[in-house]
Amino acid sequence: MKITALAGGVGGAKLAHGLAQILRPGNLIIIVNTGDDFEHLGLYICPDLDTVCYTLGGLANPETGWGRAGETWQTISNIEKLGGPNWFRLGDQDFATHIERTRRLKAGETLSQVTRDFCKAWGIHHAVIPMSDNPIRTIVNTDQGELTFQEYFVHRHCEPRVKGFRFDGVEEAKAAPGVVEAIEQAEVIVICPSNPWVSIAPILAVPGLRSRIEAKQVVAVSPIIGGQAVKGPAAKMFDELGIQPSALAVAEQYRGLVKSYVLDKIDSQLEADVRRLNMRVFVTNTLMKTTDDRKRLAEDVLNFVGSNT
Amino acid sequence: MKITALAGGVGGAKLAHGLAQILRPGNLIIIVNTGDDFEHLGLYICPDLDTVCYTLGGLANPETGWGRAGETWQTISNIEKLGGPNWFRLGDQDFATHIERTRRLKAGETLSQVTRDFCKAWGIHHAVIPMSDNPIRTIVNTDQGELTFQEYFVHRHCEPRVKGFRFDGVEEAKAAPGVVEAIEQAEVIVICPSNPWVSIAPILAVPGLRSRIEAKQVVAVSPIIGGQAVKGPAAKMFDELGIQPSALAVAEQYRGLVKSYVLDKIDSQLEADVRRLNMRVFVTNTLMKTTDDRKRLAEDVLNFVGSNT
């Protein structure tokens, strides 16, 4: 089965890794959100792309889910001693990614070219493609004004109350080479358990992608379990937007797009409500604590959609 | 006694450190060559300035004389894994200096402002001033064409034969704030044992500096001992320019500028020849192996010039 997955950071990376464990490289393409990307310390930083790559390459910090395993912090702690910005904690290994990517982007290469080469160097055989080579910036509208995503997420610890989102530059952006083909060739599109507002919505907002995805068999895995986000501010965002956070609320967000929906067992009472949104529902354990959990959930998802194709 | 020292990298930094051990902060200003500066990996790197600061701050690697003590190499080895340029070995602590400096320069600050703040953060109380805030680039003319200094020095291991030097941008450059004042207020200018061609000549080439220095009591310490450079390519450069490398050849290079000259004991036979250049001569041990050697040589130099003032 040819699968194209849409992913944000930690949760998305875990399911993408599960899929990569069971699908041959030719059968899986992972399209990653770049709305969180930002320039910091003069470096071009792609948090979601790096989390997906580090996870697939077996390089990710198993404790945090992001950053590198066995990381050291010499550079950032010395920047701090010099009075420089220290709110975004970059490790020494991680700095290499940003420095070399920035060098190549400034030399005129595209983000997707650089990502392809980095994946090769990291021994990642499955295709990982940024949604766009053009800058698209998720802007969070809050009670304290508009904030760039990392400013909101890392610097302000998601404290400002969310009023809405926009994706700066998305109208002028093009999907990166291979993204449209990945969607058109896919038998199934998997929306990974990523934040629907700031990880999946930016991908869907890239011109031409949403309508192409809608024409496909699309399965989504809820990033909200028992009313809580496994990681990140998704539940808080729903709440502040006046929506009770739940796996059902996520499904409503994906109405008209998603035909098959995967719920955690803890949320099985929502099954009937989700069905009313014209979605098939599969209930399973969706919490991925171990590497085996990732593989098992990926198998569950593929069996579920396979039973419909 | 108010002293202003002119310094390049390792040798210059050692004598500057010796002077700093015996002179109060108000009585010593160190002007540092920036002709070796270059942009690499998108970062603004100042090898001589950093060597002087790391040495004065007690942060320098005691083995190499440059770079940081207790350095780690996570970032550069990961850049290498990604196929990036690895010929210039930057340590993780050292990267912090370049990243934060580059960030501040891009934000519109000058190199001398950034250097002053870095010195404060590193606990350096003596003034360290780059010769200029404008980019001046030492270009080495070789049998393999013109090379930037770091390309010649680090990437090509000084292998191309030297034919000459030029200092790109020097005509348009201005001395950094405080440099002219440092020279004018100084009772003695100390030319540290640095490479005359690529460490001291660029400082002298900054418009207005040579004539002001010439008007002063100037003492130089030979960087060549027994016909050999203690560190770096000075002797090789003399040789390739058709000049027998020696402490005398350095003195000839400084003719008309330097009134007092410090020779190593091993070169005492050159004393009469140097005197014929209208220089007073002092013979002592000039090799600085230990921190105490630096202080002792600094004392010798100051006693020598003090006996003439």
Closest-CA distance, B106 to chain A, in angstroms, reads 8
B contacts of A92 (beta carbons < 8 Å): 72, 74-75, 78, 92, 95
Residue B123 has pLDDT above 90, yes or no: yes
- pTM, two decimals, is 0.94
A vs B, Cβ pairs < 8 A, gives 104
Look at residue B65 in the predicted model and tell me its pLDDT: 87
Burial zone of B10 (CB within 10 Å; 0-12 exposed, 13-18 middle, 19+ buried):
buried
How many other β-carbons are positioned within 10 Å of the β-carbon of residue A216? 16
Residue of B nearest to A83 (CA): B121
Burial zone of A249 (CB within 10 Å; 0-12 exposed, 13-18 middle, 19+ buried):
buried
Residue of B nearest to A85 (CA): B100
Look at residue B221 in the predicted model and tell me its pLDDT: 98
Residue labelled with tokens 């980095």: A118
Q: Which two tokens stand for residue A99?
A: 């420095």
- Counted residue by residue, chain A has a size of 309
Are B251 and B261 in contact by the 8 Å Cβ rule? The answer is yes
Are B217 and B188 in contact by the 8 Å Cβ rule? The answer is yes
Contacts made by residues B271-278, CB under 8 angstroms, sequence distance 24+: B273/B248, B274/B247, B274/B248, B277/B251, B277/B252
Question: Per residue in B189-228, pLDDT tens?
Answer: 999 999 999 999 999 999 999 999 999 999 999 999 999 9
CA gap B13, B1 in Å, rounded = 20
CATH of A3-136+171-306, one of 2.40.50.60, 3.20.20.140, 3.40.50.10680, 3.40.190.10: 3.40.50.10680
Q: A231 versus B122: which is more confidently predicted? A: B122
- Per-domain boundaries in chain B: 3-136+171-306
Look at residue A308 in the predicted model and tell me its pLDDT: 57
pLDDT of chain A, 309 residues: tens digit per residue: 899 999 999 999 999 999 999 999 999 999 999 999 999 999 999 999 999 999 999 999 998 888 999 999 999 999 999 999 999 999 999 999 999 999 999 999 999 999 999 999 999 999 999 999 999 999 999 999 999 999 999 999 999 999 999 999 999 999 999 999 999 999 999 999 999 999 999 999 999 999 999 999 999 999 999 999 888 899 999 999 999 999 999 999 999 999 999 999 999 999 999 999 999 999 999 999 999 999 999 999 999 998 754
Q: If interface means Cβ-Cβ distance under 8 Å, which residues of chain B face chain A?
A: 41-43, 72, 74-79, 81-85, 91-93, 95-97, 99-100, 102-103, 106, 117-118, 121
